[in-house]
Amino acid sequence: MNIEEIALKIEILERQNLSKSAEMTNYTQSALTSKVKKMEAEIGQEVFKRTPQGLKITNVGTQYLKFLKLMTQEYDDFLQEIGLAQTKTKISLGTSHTTIKIYGASIMNALQTNNIPLDVDFTVESSTSLNEKIHNADMDCALTSNPIKHYPDVNYDMIASETFEVISNDSHIIDFEKRSPVTLLVLSRGCMYTRAMAEWLKINQVPFTMKEIKSVSSILDFLQIDNTIAVLNTKLIDLYNYSNIHYYDLPKLNKVIETVFIYKKSESQQSSILQLKHVIESLLEDPIEQS
């Protein structure tokens, strides 16, 4: 029984949006499309209807989802009966779109591999929003780029220094000195990478339109359009092995962003939060393995 594979099927069927499921897992959208086709081949019927509004789960898909959930519940009951199940502590962890794509699956894999009794629920939002939610105690902790505003009741523990890149298709190289209008593609409008690049364009008087696209593979496809650039985390670009990229070294643009683990100071002694922090730190010390 491959519990991880079953969990992935449940994620796909529940969310009914392969682009969003791709953000929450460490798979590309095309890989998840293949998973859906394989799933449908296994049961001999469609689990989704393809509509102009996107995917819609079929009656068979709904029944299959119930079956998969029943399997996981029975497996958990089995572990409980033989004394292998552990009581897990729930933790709500906020991340940016970039962070969950790079580290999300690795964090979950590390927790499972090492039998760490933490049940982590991910919330994907901008660093500004996550920072505010930690301050308001609406979330336990967050792993994200260092926000501009620091609250006195929140810890901001630096985990790593990340870099981002400004890129375009190498067939459409842009001369910024001409100050021609460009389209800036981003994963999130609230991302620190986005803010840094938008500020650079404003200072250098380059007219731009910002487009928020939640899929990295879609952003790379959109770079085929003239006068289009994107700003993405360097590690995220490396994951996709995209060959037709032109990298820009722009003057006075600091492409280094601090990644921090943030949590309330009142929770500084809570073992579950510190345990999760140590797991994340251990992942960043070693190369991140991707599925």
What pLDDT shows up at residue 86? Answer: 57
- Exposed, middle or buried: residue 116 (CB in 10 Å: 0-12, 13-18, 19+)? middle
Global pTM exceeds 0.85: no
Yes or no: say if 230 and 168 are a contact pair by the CB < 8 Å rule.
yes
Read off the pLDDT of residues 36-84 as tens digits, 9 standing for 90 and up. Answer: 999 999 999 999 998 888 899 999 999 999 999 888 878 777 766 776 5
pLDDT, tens only, 148-198: 899 999 999 999 888 999 999 999 999 999 999 999 999 888 788 899 999
Tokens matching residue 230: 């994107």
Q: Rounded to whole angstroms, how far apart are CA atoms 12 and 1?
A: 18
Domain 89-161+257-284 of CATH type 3.40.190.10: yes
285 or 177, higher pLDDT: 177
Q: Nearest to residue 145, comparing CAs of 128, 133, 132?
A: 128
At residue 242, the pLDDT reads 81
CATH domain 163-256 topology: D-Maltodextrin-Binding Protein; domain 2 (3.40.190)
CA distance 262 to 146: 9
> Which pair of tokens denotes residue 270?
């809570």
Per-residue pLDDT at 291: 33
Contact 261, 103 (CB under 8 A): no
Q: What is the pLDDT of residue 286?
A: 47
3-state helix, strand, coil in the chain (%, to 5): 45, 25, 30
Judged against a pLDDT cut of 50, whether residue 288 lies above it is answered with no
Per-residue pLDDT, averaged over 110-134, amounts to 87
Digit-coded pLDDT (tens) for 222-270: 999 999 999 999 988 888 878 889 999 999 999 998 999 999 988 655 6
What is the token pair recorded at 13?
Answer: 């069927």
Domain parsing of the chain, residue ranges: 3-82, 89-161+257-284, 163-256
* Whole-number pLDDT of residue 177: 94
Buried b (16+ CB within 10 A) or exposed e, 46-76: ebbeeeeeebebeeebeebbeebeeeeeeee
The reported pLDDT for the residue numbered 243 is 81
Name which CATH class applies to 3-82.
Answer: mainly alpha
Are the folds of 3-82 and 89-161+257-284 the same? no
| Tokens matching residue 159 | 């985990």
End-to-end CA distance of the chain: 19
